[in-house]
Structure 1
Amino acid sequence: MLKIIPLLLGTVLAAQAQQVTLVNSSMKQFSGSDGVTFRYPAIWNFSTENEFYSPSSITAPYRSPQAVVFFKDAGEFNPYPETTLNGAEFVYAQDKAATAEICPALTPRGDANAHSLEPTTINGIKYKHVQLESAGMCHQIREDVYATYRNQTCYLFDLAIHTICSGVKDNTRDITPDELSQVHASLEKILSSIEISDLKKN
């Protein structure tokens, strides 16, 4: 039997029932009242707020996340401790939109460090894909943003990896490209599990 864990959200989202379901000992599933579901490692944390120094580009400064699943260096789980990896997060946000043409404006295409890639199809739904990197105060963030339009809504998903400068923390080394690839693969596995139901509640 699946174990259901109810979530308490802020006042803006209080009317929207969202749940995290314990699928098995290693996996949880997020289910939103808007028809969005995805699965993520059970050892990762869940939040509805930005959790890092550099917030996700799909939420800051004007759009609150619907869901954030993440791990941080200061938490109980970090696959590469004693490196410059500060954490990773999978962020889900959305905006109402009358037409699909509005959605591209909600992705960070205007950022000088952003570039568009070929669209990606996930479980039968096509997503626009934008990559970007930014840095400030010795905090770096690498993002892959995916966006699609359904149910008069723009759905946005961000795969973000956070690192810090070498020397900021004692006894740490630079995370290797192969290790970063492994972290990104974990985020992509979450991405591949996204389902969006057309039976959305209004």
Structure 2
Amino acid sequence: MNFSLVRIASLLLASLAAPLVHAQTKAAIPLSAPEPTSPPASTFHDSRYGVTFQSPVGWTLTRRDAEVSTFANDAHTAASNTRMRGVATISFNPHPTSTFSGALFYFSVTPRSNDHDCRLQASGQTPRTVTTQQIGSLTFNHGYDEHGKICVEARDEIYTTLRNNTCYRFDLVINTFCGGEVSGVREISKAELDAVRQRLESILSTVHFDTK
């Protein structure tokens, strides 16, 4: 076979392979879901403990545990007498081609608490450094917790603050699953995790306490 025939054959093979390469490249690009229009945004208000926050469009708001969440499984460092008062749960998947499986914003309280115990709740299951963070006019203890059997399946950013001998706790939870050999699923990227965390932090930024 002379050079011209070899050249023609190589060009033909390249043209046949091009669509496959393009398809593989296109499939590797992370896809984001369109922003939802429902459920509508709603306001949570706990008259007993004087807490209000805003649940955005696309999130489900409830006051009952186990309807859309399992607080005890997600908030590992909560005290035994901690009670969940409300939870906002994302109702759509913003990163459908990734291992993302859910995001939850919990509000809970621990009565008869003190500064030390309230701060300790924010340290995570394995004691970690707790920082003080100012969000709006509120000062929080801030720490985090992670857990999972094979990979990190839950990430919990914990914010606590003591008011009137009650520890007010807010958990920003991101759940994922281990991709492994699951076809068509890729590990969620750091940028995507940060984007979900920003959604949760935007809810936290709306928290305010009733004035008495």
* TM-score above 0.5, yes or no: yes
Aligned residue identity for 2:101? N
1:178 aligned to which of 171, 191, 206: 191
CA distance in structure 1 between the aligned counterparts of 2:125 and 2:131, rounded to whole angstroms: 18
CA distance in structure 2 between the aligned counterparts of 1:170 and 1:139, rounded to whole angstroms: 19
2:116 aligned residue = 101
2:45 aligned to which of 15, 31, 39: 31
CA distance in structure 2 between the aligned counterparts of 1:159 and 1:49, rounded to whole angstroms: 15
1:134 aligned residue = 147
SS in 2 for 1:97: coil
Cα pair 1:82 1:171 within 8 Å, conserved = yes
Structure 1, unmatched stretches of 5+, are 1-23
Cα pair 2:79 2:110 within 8 Å, conserved = no
Structure 2, unmatched stretches of 5+, are 1-37
1:165 aligned residue = 178
How big is the shift at 1:183?
A: 0.3
Q: Spell out, residue by residue over 1:109-164, the C-alpha distance to the aligned partner (whole angstroms, 9 max, x if none).
A: 2622x522431112322110011211136661111101101122110001111110
1:56 aligned to which of 69, 75, 83: 75
- Compute the TM-score of the two structures, normalised by the length of structure 1: 0.73
Alignment coverage as a number of residue pairs: 170
Identical columns (%): 29
Root-mean-square deviation (CA, aligned residues, Å) is 2.7
User: Hey, which of these two has a bigger chunk of strand by percent?
Assistant: 1
User: Hey, which of these two has a bigger chunk of helix by percent?
Assistant: 2
- Compute the TM-score of the two structures, normalised by the length of structure 2: 0.70
1:111 aligned residue = 125
Radius of gyration: which is bigger?
2
CA distance in structure 1 between the aligned counterparts of 2:190 and 2:56, rounded to whole angstroms: 22
